[in-house]
């Protein structure tokens, strides 16, 4: 799915990208510019700002009012509304930082781009295809935290 996410939902943007969605983050735009951009680019505007949500819907722009205090609650709400799985498939993920597609990289291709210990311990790597970003990712110790948060979100979603 293609989303445009307002400045109050930066973490949600990263999660959507990890789950493979095209999510543009605009943290310094005026409300009218967010609505115009979402409409022009055929994106769903995600916001937790009631006034922005109302502005978008009165102008006919597809928008969703994101609710929830925790990231798991917000993810559950968005996934429930737009009917997508709360899972991360590294082959479908986008760069959490810039949103570009990720590509599989060999161990030799990432040598010198990741910490030496990481290079020794892990064998699977993905790199951002955007040369201006170029971040490299792997399923390190943080992967358990990612799974735990997604599991919380799935439990919340099942109760909705």
Concatenated DSSP letters for 25-74? EESS--HHHHHHHHHHTT-EEEES-HHHHHHHHHTT--EEE---SSHHHH
Under a CB-based contact definition with an 8 Å cutoff, are residues 38 and 81 in contact? no
**Residues 109, 139 within the same domain:** yes
Domain that holds residue 146: 102-159
In a domain, 90, yes or no: no
In tens, the pLDDT along 55-84 reads 999 999 999 999 999 999 999 999 999 999
Provide the pLDDT for residue 9: 97
Q: Is residue 97 part of a domain?
A: no
The label of the residue with tokens 């990712």 reads 137
Domain end marker among 54, 82, 110: 82
Residue 91 has a pLDDT of: 86
**What's the pLDDT band for 90 if we cut at 50, 70, 90?**
confident
- Given a cut of 90, whether residue 160 has pLDDT beyond it is no
Residues 14 and 76 in one domain: yes
Question: In the beta sheet, which residues pair with residue 128?
Answer: 102
147 located within any domain: yes
């Amino acid at each position: 799915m293609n989303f445009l996410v307002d400045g109050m939902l930066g973490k949600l943007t990263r999660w959507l990208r990890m789950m493979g969605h095209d999510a543009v983050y605009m943290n310094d735009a005026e409300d009218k510019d967010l609505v115009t951009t979402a409409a022009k680019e055929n994106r769903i505007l995600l916001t937790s700002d009631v006034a922005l949500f109302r502005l978008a819907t009165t102008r006919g722009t597809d928008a969703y009012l994101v609710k929830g205090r925790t990231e798991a609650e917000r993810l559950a709400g968005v996934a429930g509304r737009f009917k997508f799985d709360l899972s991360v498939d590294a082959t479908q993920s986008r760069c959490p930082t810039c949103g570009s597609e990720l590509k599989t990289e060999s161990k030799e291709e990432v040598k010198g781009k990741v910490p030496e210990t990481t290079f020794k311990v892990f064998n699977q790597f993905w790199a951002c295809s955007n040369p201006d970003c170029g971040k490299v990712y792997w399923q390190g110790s943080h992967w358990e935290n990612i799974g735990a948060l997604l599991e919380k979100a799935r439990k919340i979603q099942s109760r909705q």
